[in-house]
Amino acid sequence: MSRHPVRLFALSLLLTSLLVACNNDDPAPVVEATPVGLRLEKIGGYSAGLFGVSAAEIPAFDAASKRLFVVNAQAGAVDVLDMSDPTNPKKVGVLDATTLLAGAEINSVAVFDGLVAVAIQAPVKTNPGRMALYRASNLSLVSSVTIGALPDMITFTPDGKTVLVANEGEPSDDYQVDPEGSISIIDVSNLAAPVVRTAGFGAYTGQEAALRSQGIRLYGPGASASQDFEPEYIAVSADGKTAWVTLQENNALAKVDIATATVKAILPLGYKDFGAVGNELDSSDSDKIIKIQNWAGVRGMYLPDSMASYSVGGKTYLVTANEGDARAWGEDNAAYWAGDASKGFVEEFRVKHLINKSGWAGRDGDDLPPQLKALAAGGLLNPSIFAYCGAVAGDPAGCRADAALGRLNISWTMGYRVDANGLPVKFNASGVEDAAGDRLMYDNLYAYGGRSFTIWDEDGALVWDSGAAIEKFLASDDCKLGRARNLACKDYFNSGHDEGDALDSRSDAKGPEPEGLAVGTIGNKTFAFIGLERMGGVLVYDITNPTAPIRVDYLNTREDWATEDPSTVLATVGDLGPEGLVFIPAKNSPNGKPLLVVGNEVSGTTAVLQINLTY
């Protein structure tokens, strides 16, 4: 048996290519070798010079012009960078949407074969937005069309003939206006006159009860299904016939037929059992120690943000980054907290405030949502489920402790016991079911995000989830930080991106918060690149086998972890808050090597990472 099978494999590929070339007048196709591994290396970057204002979010790359297009949300525009030297990107221009719509902002950008598409938000976000096309080579405007409210993510179909936009349709901050969410399907065959069709959710209005019974979160005050669905991110099948759209706050996916511009199905994603072995989490930010453990009765809402698709054996698989997101409107409106439920809607609450034998009166006028106050006077924990942390009839007791579940942020809108009509079952202060009681009984607590990434099939069935692997890796001796990889991750476990040495500070929220995601194929392998919004950095997994992904690498270039306010050391702190990622295959790369470009919204930096392959 040969001692160098990989070398022989590469040699056989070369010989095959030469034989094809000799027996065919056409140029031989370039066969990309399959690596056995990879390692990320930061080779360059660009800084907007602004901290904490989302000055670098979503990147897209045009191979022909060697230009990188980066959404600068702070400027409401797209920064155009020359990437001919990826070690030193230089700003060469700007795409400014205000020339089309005064006061507008650009939320997303996509590129296909020299054409740049941008999603433009109206100055009043509940008004219709626009999609515009530009030439990558000279930044000239080609055309623009009106689309839905708050266009978020934009992408091309694989053939470049159609542009898809997720119109999130968020309500106004005071919840007085709530536009419908939708997906714009735009035929760009005639660049001068794009044709817009809309895949909406009107067919689901009136079916709210049935949708809720399937596990789909519909809970906006007074909202119909078409208003409550908020499209976030889009992935497209390889044949360009089907799109999947994350409905983040609804914990679901929409499956869309592109040819007919129709939402064919709403796919509920279900919930993650944090009481199951392999799904542990750290629930407290107050103990300042790493304590990753199971919590029976606590469930995670996946609530994915980014999503990508890839094919294996003729089947499409979907990869999601399960960030988590709470609805919080009217947070800064004093009238809302004073009890006017028409002025907002905030669903997030800490466990220790929600389940308290003394009720919620102590939070009234502070952070008690008026919609919750209207339901009851307090909440209890089911002692048959939560006895392990000390709950007894009428008293959640030790479960409320800061070092237990007390600090965990959850949604008060679900988990309490309801009757056949969906109305709360009331209990008295002693924990006994009583129609005259004024307490809710929580059988489960629902936390935000999965602290994971997940692979689903095309019908939304779970194929694989990373479980507790991300938090456990960040807490391990194997995890290192900094460009030189010489800092221990566990010393800064679950730190926030806008603070200094704050060990454990995000454990009560969404942990490392996987948000951005890109998928790339190298040779015969497919890799997922996952940006961790809070702890920062990019994880790499080999997902070639969708049922058994393997962690390959992690790079976090943040250097300064001690300064209380990282904005004071902006030039040297490193990259914080990865938002959007784009994979550039070697064949399209300006230096001939595969690259990963990351937009970091907190540090306002665009990082160019080289993917160094091993064979």
pLDDT of residue 25: 56
Task: Give the contacts of 311 (CB within 8 A, at least 6 positions apart).
Answer: 237, 238, 317
Tokens describing residue 547: 């049922």
pLDDT of residue 23: 47
Name the amino acid, one letter, at 264: K
Q: Measured between alpha carbons, how far is 172 from 308 in angstroms, rounded to an integer? A: 29
pLDDT of residue 499: 79
**pLDDT of 351-409, one tens digit each?**
999 999 999 999 999 999 999 999 999 999 999 999 999 999 999 999 999 999 999 99
- Give the CB-side neighbour count of residue 172, counting CA atoms within 13 A: 12
Q: Measured between alpha carbons, how far is 451 from 471 in angstroms, rounded to an integer? A: 8
pLDDT of residue 580: 98
Handedness of CA 475, 529, 67, 153 (dihedral sign): negative
Q: Which domains does the chain have, with CATH numbers?
A: 37-269+304-325+449-614 (2.130.10.10), 334-447 (no CATH)
**pLDDT of 129-164, one tens digit each?**
999 999 999 999 999 999 999 999 999 999 999 999
pLDDT of residue 82: 98
**Nearest-5° Cα angle at 274, 283 to 531:** 70
C-alpha distances out from residue 551 to 527, 539, 558, Å = 10, 8, 21
> Mean pLDDT score of the chain, rounded to an integer?
94
Tokens describing residue 536: 């920062």
pLDDT of residue 28: 61
Handedness of CA 584, 587, 590, 594 (dihedral sign): positive
pLDDT of residue 1: 39
From the list 390, 380, 451, the residue with the least C-alpha distance to 416 is: 380
From the list 596, 443, 431, the residue with the least C-alpha distance to 527 is: 596
Report phi then psi at 490, rounded to 5: -65, -20
pLDDT of residue 63: 98
Does residue 70 register a pLDDT over 90? yes
CB 59 within 8 A of CB 599: yes
pLDDT of residue 29: 62
Tokens describing residue 387: 């006895």
C-alpha distances out from residue 314 to 32, 237, 311, 317, 454, Å = 21, 11, 6, 10, 20
From the list 447, 353, 469, 334, the residue with the least C-alpha distance to 406 is: 353
Strands laid side by side in the 578-584 sheet:
37-47, 605-614, 595-600, 578-584
Does residue 10 register a pLDDT over 70? no
**Sheet strands (E) in 55-203:** 59-62, 67-72, 77-82, 90-96, 105-112, 115-121, 128-135, 141-149, 151-156, 162-167, 182-187, 195-200
Q: Measured between alpha carbons, how far is 345 from 325 in angstroms, rounded to an integer? A: 14
- The DSSP output letter for 15 is H
**pLDDT of 462-518, one tens digit each?**
999 999 999 999 999 999 999 999 999 999 999 988 777 789 999 999 999 999 999
Tokens describing residue 542: 């080999």
Q: Measured between alpha carbons, how far is 34 from 523 in angstroms, rounded to an integer? A: 4
DSSP output for 530-562:
EEETTT-SEEEEE-SSTTS-EEEEEE------S
Mean pLDDT across the stretch 27-35?
A: 80
- Give the CB-side neighbour count of residue 374, counting CA atoms within 13 A: 12
Total-model pTM: 0.94
439's enclosing H/E stretch is strand 439-442
Report phi then psi at 57, rounded to 5: -125, -80
Does residue 456 register a pLDDT over 80? yes
pLDDT of residue 26: 57
**pLDDT of 318-331, one tens digit each?**
999 999 999 999 99
Does residue 4 register a pLDDT over 50? no
CB 136 within 8 A of CB 114: yes
CB 282 within 8 A of CB 471: yes
Burial of 339 (0-12, 13-18, 19+ CB in 10 A): middle
* Beta pairing partners, 409: 350
Name the band, by pLDDT with cuts 50, 70 and 90, for residue 69. very high
* Share of residues in the chain with pLDDT > 90 (%): 90
Name the amino acid, one letter, at 558: R
**pLDDT of 231-259, one tens digit each?**
999 999 999 999 999 999 999 999 999 99
pLDDT of residue 498: 78
pLDDT of residue 9: 39
- Could you write out the three-class secondary structure of 311-379? EECCEEEEEEECCCCCCEECCCCHHHHCCCHHHCEECEEEHHHHECCCCCHHHCCCCCCHHHHHHCCEE
Q: Measured between alpha carbons, how far is 268 from 265 in angstroms, rounded to an integer? A: 10
